A and B are shown apart, each in its own frame.
Chain A
Amino acid sequence: MTQPLLDVRNLTVEFPTRTGTLVALSDVSFDIHQGEILGVVGESGAGKSLTGSAIIGLLEPPGRIAAGEIRFDGRRIDNLPYDDMRKVRGRQIGAIFQDPLTSLDPLYTIGEQLIETIQTHLPVGAGDARARAIRLLQETGISAAEQRLEQYPHQFSGGMRQRVVIALALAGEPRLIVADEPTTALDVSIQAQIISLLRRLCKEHGAAVMLVTHDMGVIAETCDRVAVMYAGRIVEIGPVGSVIHSPAHPYTTGLMGSIPAMEEDRERLLQIDGAMPRLTAIPPGCAFNPRCPRVFDRCREERPELLDAGRTRAACWLHASSLEQAA
């Protein structure tokens, strides 16, 4: 097997507070291969955006990486000095955030922002940079790109702004793009446009994507593999088809059942009772055990690691028993 492009091992992120240390991410491990799209899904507070911020080195203080390592193309990037990380960010790893308005500077034209980004990362002259900027805008489906370069972000609609943000993320020709809820702020018709655009451009540019979202539909349409997060841990990871059609973790099963489907009629939706625990009150053992319909004694005492569960890997003791019986 070739070396993965991004390799995250046992990543733990902590927030020291006056009342004690909050562990927001705990023992998160996954990898992304060249050209692959990995979806990261979970409910608010599950730690999916935090994983993205840790990878691009933008953890908000006092948050810090307490353990584990992040390797990009074999090189450790979690402990790089600030200035070295700046060279990685944008050039090697691009980022797309949820709200396209706050990702763009309202005081500079789109052209200035794009050209500055291109020249920061690539050794090209002003004329070449401008030509590249125009090409990038055209690739993202913005018509009259040359005139649009002279305009300011407020002159763009929400969907158009997100296209500009994607162009900015691609400007440094990164090999990995961390996209944090890129379509959440958009209407459904625009969301479909942006998703297909993102997928097409990443294929054309050969970039891998880590797509953070809470929308299972977006994951199903876009990703190759998906990681499901719950209370700061990955509870299931595997090929997107397997996770959606035959989930191995009870949380994934509940999550899939609670989504109203377009194809079938159900009088009641499957619901997971309760809510995700707060970081201050994560239960011992498996964090999902108070809400789990299939809980047993071991779940309340021991925390499960990711175990092989058919075609996916799930952090659930249900799969340990089958493993032990087999052995």
Chain B
Amino acid sequence: MNEASPLAQGAPPLVEVKNLGKTFDVSAPWLNRVVERKTRQYVHAVDDVNFTIERGTTLALVGESGCGKSTVARLLVGLYQPTRGRVFFDGEDTAATLRSRSARALRRRMQMIFQDPYASLNPRWSVADIVGEPINEHGLVETGGGSAVRASTRRRKAKVVELLQSVGLDGADVEKFPHQFSGGQRQRISIARALATEPEFLVCDEPTSALDVSVQAQVLNIMKDLQRVRGLTYLFISHNLAVVRHVSDEVGVMYLGRLVERARKNKLFTTPRHPYTRMLLDAIPDIHMSGRARTPVRGEVPNPLNPPAGCSFHPRCPHANQRCESERPALLARDGCVVACHAVEEGRI
């Protein structure tokens, strides 16, 4: 349908993000601004982010708290309006589509899984209602009058049971309520709900961060199986690099609202280029006790209200020089990855 669009050459990526930016106004209330002579304050939560996700692959975004990874997730599914830049889904501009009549059709094709399975399920709804709601909402089982109503209710229930079984839950669980499930089971219900509309693209915002490791393994395995069987495309947000390494094909590293490095998984983990990526990899506790020497990490993430000039990582960077303090590095492609770093560009590291 979008063959005419310039993006649809060959096999276009399913998701394309161009110069995406989101600014939040965090100014004090008007009276305070007037009385205390404060100016308006903005946080650039996401700034000039570009990436594409190919069909059937997983892009992982990693970074520490406050780096804007969740904001990117919310921008992609349309929970936030981008301040700048655009998101294309299958060649369509999502912001424009979500305002048009075909919004519902687009929403059906992308779904989101949230971090906290205790907060993302309505405690007063049964599992049948939770997982069945998207089916109703998008009219995914035919409805009719009279006896057809009962038939469609039956079909919907059958569909919910099938979805629950696909995430490893019991079909008899449909009558239960969220409080009767453990954290891992709740997260599977969230996945079943997301799958109810048969989406192509799932945005997973820290889906296993609230879970114990043995349960995390169950959920990650299910997500990988589903990707293989259904050809799903994932945007996977996490702060856990080991998890990211396990699930992703490509990894983007974010720092203070910007992508600082993006590369294929193996490339990023074997030869990280950006000093921040190196620092993150270095900070992971070494479970196998290989006695690898670790460079201690310096400093903390600066306040996003008042980010440093130039490269925002320069105050913590061991390779920073004067250029890093004044000039913001652009993302440059080199040897199959893109890096925003003057030191890498100049060949200093």
Contact = CB atoms under 8 A, between A and B. Distances in A.
Contacts of B182: 275
A144 to B, nearest CB: 14
Given A159-B300, A268-B224, A188 B287 contact: no
A275 B215 contact: yes
Interface in B72-89: none
Interface in B282-305: 282-289, 294, 296-297, 300-301
B90 to A, nearest CB: 28
B269 interface: yes
B218 interface: yes
Given A244-B289, A268-B221, A261 B296 contact: no
A188 B64 contact: yes
A189 to B, nearest CB: 4
Interface string A247-280: 0000000110111111100111111110110000
A157 interface: yes
Given A188-B64, A275-B182, A275-B184, A261 B242 contact: yes
A271 B214 contact: yes
B117 to A, nearest CB: 13
A275 B185 contact: yes
B279 interface: yes
Contact of B280 (A189, A214, A260): A189
Interface in A215-252: 215-218, 220-221, 240-241, 244-245
Contacts of B239: 187-188
**Of residues A159, A188, A217, A276, which shows the largest number of chain B Cβ atoms within 10 Å of its Cβ?**
A188
A21 interface: no
Nearest to B269: A262
Interface in B224-263: 224, 239-243, 245-246
A276 B183 CA distance: 11
A128 to B, nearest CB: 31
A140 B229 CA distance: 51
Contacts of B184: 275
**Of residues A214, A270, A273, A275, which shows the largest number of chain B Cβ atoms within 10 Å of its Cβ?**
A275
**Of residues A218, A220, A260, which shows the largest number of chain B Cβ atoms within 10 Å of its Cβ?**
A260
- Of the four ranges (under 10, 10 to 19, 20 to 34, 35 or more), the interface on chain B belongs to 35 or more
A120 interface: no
A260 B246 contact: yes
Nearest to B288: A263
Contacts of A259: 213, 217, 242, 287
Contacts of A273: 218
Contacts of B152: none
A139 interface: no
Contacts of B214: 43, 254-255, 258, 271-272
B153 to A, nearest CB: 31
A260 B242 contact: yes
A218 B212 contact: no
A195 B285 CA distance: 9
Given A189-B64, A244-B287, A244-B288, A43 B213 contact: yes
A192 B288 contact: no
A190 interface: yes
B213 A216 contact: yes
A322 interface: no
A79 interface: no
Contacts of A160: 300
A187 to B, nearest CB: 4
Contacts of B300: 157, 159-160, 189-190
Given A258-B214, A261-B242, A275-B184, A188 B65 contact: no
A29 B183 CA distance: 29
Contacts of B242: 259-262
Contacts of A221: 285-286, 289
A191 interface: yes
Interface in A271-296: 271-273, 275-276
A55 B240 CA distance: 32
Given A220-B288, A244-B288, A193 B221 contact: no
A216 B216 CA distance: 14
Contact of A189 (B279, B286, B287): B279
A44 interface: yes
B140 interface: no
B220 interface: yes
A196 interface: yes
B182 to A, nearest CB: 4
Contacts of A267: 224
Given A157-B300, A261-B242, A262-B269, A192 B289 contact: no
A239 to B, nearest CB: 11
B19 to A, nearest CB: 27
A300 to B, nearest CB: 21
B4 to A, nearest CB: 40
A168 B161 CA distance: 53
Given A188-B241, A260-B220, A271-B218, A44 B286 contact: no
A188 B281 CA distance: 9
Contacts of B65: 187
Interface string B105-149: 000000000000000000000000000000000000000000000
B296 A43 contact: no
Given A220-B288, A258-B213, A271-B221, A188 B283 contact: yes
**Of residues B64, B239, B281, which shows the largest number of chain A Cβ atoms within 10 Å of its Cβ?**
B64
Contact of A44 (B212, B218, B296): B212
11 contacts: A43-B215, A160-B300, A191-B285, A192-B297, A220-B285, A220-B287, A259-B213, A262-B269, A262-B284, A267-B224, A271-B214
Give the top 10 A-B pairs by smallest Cβ distance, nearest first: A217-B285, A258-B217, A43-B212, A260-B246, A269-B217, A187-B64, A192-B283, A260-B242, A189-B297, A271-B217
Given A255-B214, A260-B220, A267-B224, 11 more contacts: A43-B215, A187-B65, A188-B240, A188-B241, A193-B297, A260-B240, A260-B242, A261-B242, A262-B241, A262-B281, A271-B221
